[in-house]
Structure 1
Amino acid sequence: MIKLRYTKGSGTPPTHLASIDWENPEAGELIFSGACEHREPFTSRPRFLSRLQQLIQQRVPLAIGGMCPGPADEVALLIAKKELQGLYIELSWTGSQQWILREVSGDSEQWELEPEASKIANSTYNPITLNGSD
């Protein structure tokens, strides 16, 4: 069993993928929030999958959903369907301005506390650096 890490934080979380806004089945926007606000369009499913894979590789946190699925939920489904791969970083809220970052992998059931969020997630990520344009 793999032991993954988690950390707790307060205030503004690191830049993260907050939601996916679908305009139609093939196109939409990735919406980033936290330390940096940004909207990044995609115009095809391959481009969408490529950008999500980049976010996984660059250790960008993905918000979990509440009343509807969030980006972390979408990525978990796509990993289960083998359309994406890798360990991803999940961002969840525990209260007002209180959040948790957690490494997620399909075969993990235990997490170890990591005092520094920057050792788990990319704390300097700028979504404008996503490769390519549509």
Structure 2
Amino acid sequence: MTRLRYAKGSGHPPLHLASITANGADAGELRFTLANAKELRIAFTSHAEQVRMLERLITERVPFAVGGMCPGPAEEVDMLIATAELAGPYIELAWTAPQQWVVRETSSVASEWLQVAEASMIANPSFDPNALKCFDCPTLR
């Protein structure tokens, strides 16, 4: 039996990948919302670089926002998992009401959910998205 965790919260959500935007055929940027609600953008120059960055975010347990009217990063990660470019499970962040959100582990093999007290028990609150700029780092290869 696979037990995946989730946590509910209110106010500012934890650091998460808020969107992925395309600036060309393969280039674009990852837009993060930090815990203090400030925004940080990290550019990528190719699809391969974007996939490496997303892989690192999965490993570091950074939440991916669920889309609303259009696909969000969580849906894009789902598509990349479906095509075997990425592997899960990963962490997603979804809004349940204004200023109300839930962070949860996501996997295709979930059979039971377990609520935990704080999002920090699931998601990594100390990850620095600027670490993704270090393209020569062994963890990004």
Q: What is the TM-score normalised by the length of structure 1?
A: 0.94
Q: Within 5 A, what are the aligned runs for 1:90-129?
A: 90-129=92-131
Moved over 6 A (4+): none
Structure 1 residue aligned with 2:8: 8
User: Of Structure 1 and Structure 2, which has the larger fraction of its residues in strand?
Assistant: 1
Conservation of the 8 A alpha-carbon contact between 2:34 and 2:40: no
* Unmatched runs of 5 consecutive residues or more in structure 2: 137-141
Structure 1 residue aligned with 2:31: 31
- 1:132 positional shift: 2.5
* Unmatched runs of 5 consecutive residues or more in structure 1: none
Structure 2 residue aligned with 1:79: 81
Aligned-partner Cα distance in 2 for 1:64–1:54? 18
Letter in 2 for 1:105: S
1:61 to 54, 63, 78: 63
Conservation of the 8 A alpha-carbon contact between 1:15 and 1:37: no
Aligned-partner Cα distance in 2 for 1:133–1:41? 11
Give the fraction of aligned pairs with identical amino acids, expressed as a percent: 53
Conservation of the 8 A alpha-carbon contact between 1:20 and 1:31: yes
Letter in 2 for 1:87: P
Q: What is the TM-score normalised by the length of structure 2?
A: 0.90
- 1:133 positional shift: 4.4
Conservation of the 8 A alpha-carbon contact between 1:15 and 1:126: no
Aligned-partner Cα distance in 1 for 2:86–2:12? 28
Alignment size in residue pairs:
134
Structure 1, residues 57-89: CA drift from partner, whole Å, max 9, x if none? 000000000011000000011111110012100
